[in-house]
Amino acid sequence: MEICAGAGGLARGLEDAGFDPVLLLDNRPVACETLRINRPGWDVREIDLVDFDPTDEQQVYDVELLSGGLPRVKSPAAANRTRGDDAELAVFTAAVDLIYGVQPRAVLLENVPDLAQKSEYQTIRCLVGEELGHLGYRFRWLVLDAKDYGVPQHREVGFLIAFKGDLIDGFEPPAPHPGSTPTVGETLRDSMGARGWPDVDKWADQAGAPAPTIVGGSWDRGGADLGPTGAKRKWARMGVDGATVADEVPDADFVWNPAAGRSGLVPLTVEQVALLQGFPREWRIAGRKTARYRQVGNATPPPLARAVGEAIASALLSEAAS
């Protein structure tokens, strides 16, 4: 069962790891549309997690895995500065409560890396740990970088991984993939040259590093861009305009001249950003440009999800075989 499924990055990777969702939840209509376009056979429900009652959907009882890419939890100090009630933390709490109702054999919840490792989140980690202990689960917090698992992007992701009983004794975190990480140029060369841009090879050869972390941004404000000021500077060093997202790749008349400022930098399309997130080319994203970008930018990279899913599946299967 998957909660807060979004554009399906986590579910798509877990599918490659051998998991088959019996139910997927998300509260955004456009995300549910994305899931249904790509997997018409999946049971997708548009509902807020805090309103979901598993007694109405008993097919989720005793699933092998409860997974979800939850809204980014703020530190308690940041939450107090922005509003009295932290909606993201409420969703995280609802996810932990759902474990009691569903009783999965394993749990995989994705969130910001700070939640898994920084001291200001210690109170939240303790509360979650105490609740999981009461429910009979043992757990680990992990931080993994997507670039170590075949994703052309430096992206640290935090995971809470829990197993019922002693199943966690058979869990080994996924080992980094051998070989070098794909670069932005290697990943986007074909798409960037699709309309006959003559400088595509020159651009791709100098874009010889993984992408900086792609930031989806807030659903509540702003348009589509590739992240904060520091990320935009990194993009500019690769000849990319990180302050916008394009409708199309450059045509044969585009003059690439980074010395000229933004007008001489090449912007990326939503489809190209999806490739840098590790989505397969055939995965379609519903909605208008900004909504499509938000879905992609906030997703879990599917290859990273697959690596973690395979490690969880290995632990579950080893216990079943013993």
In the chain, count of helices (H) and strands (E)? 12, 9
Instruction: Give me the tens of pLDDT residue by residue for the chain, a chain 322 residues long.
Output: 999 999 999 999 999 999 999 999 999 999 999 999 999 999 999 999 999 999 989 999 999 999 999 888 876 654 444 444 578 888 888 999 999 999 999 999 999 899 999 999 999 899 999 999 999 999 999 999 999 999 999 999 999 999 999 999 999 999 999 988 999 999 999 999 999 999 999 999 999 999 999 988 777 767 788 988 999 999 999 999 999 999 999 999 999 999 999 999 999 999 999 999 999 999 999 999 999 999 999 999 999 999 999 999 999 998 766 6
Residue with tokens 């699709």: 194
Distance CA 90, CA 20 (A): 27
| Residue ranges covered by each domain of the chain | 2-175+300-321, 184-296
What is the predicted pLDDT for the residue at 191?
98
Alpha-helical segments (H) within the chain: 9-16, 29-38, 76-82, 87-102, 113-117, 122-134, 184-192, 200-206, 229-237, 270-276, 289-297, 302-321
DSSP, collapsed to helix, strand or coil, labels residue 282 as: coil
Distance CA 240, CA 127 (A): 43
1, 63 contact by CB (below 8 A): yes
- Using CA atoms in the order 21, 23, 24, 30, what is the torsion angle rounded to 10 degrees? 120
Residue with tokens 């980074």: 258
What's this model's pTM, rounded to 2 decimal places? 0.94
What is the predicted pLDDT for the residue at 83?
45
What is the predicted pLDDT for the residue at 92?
85
What is the predicted pLDDT for the residue at 318?
86
C-alpha dihedral sign at 73, 78, 83, 85: positive
Distance CA 132, CA 290 (A): 37
107, 99 contact by CB (below 8 A): yes
Superfamily name with CATH number, domain 2-175+300-321: Vaccinia Virus protein VP39 (3.40.50.150)
Distance CA 240, CA 250 (A): 12
190, two tokens: 């074909």
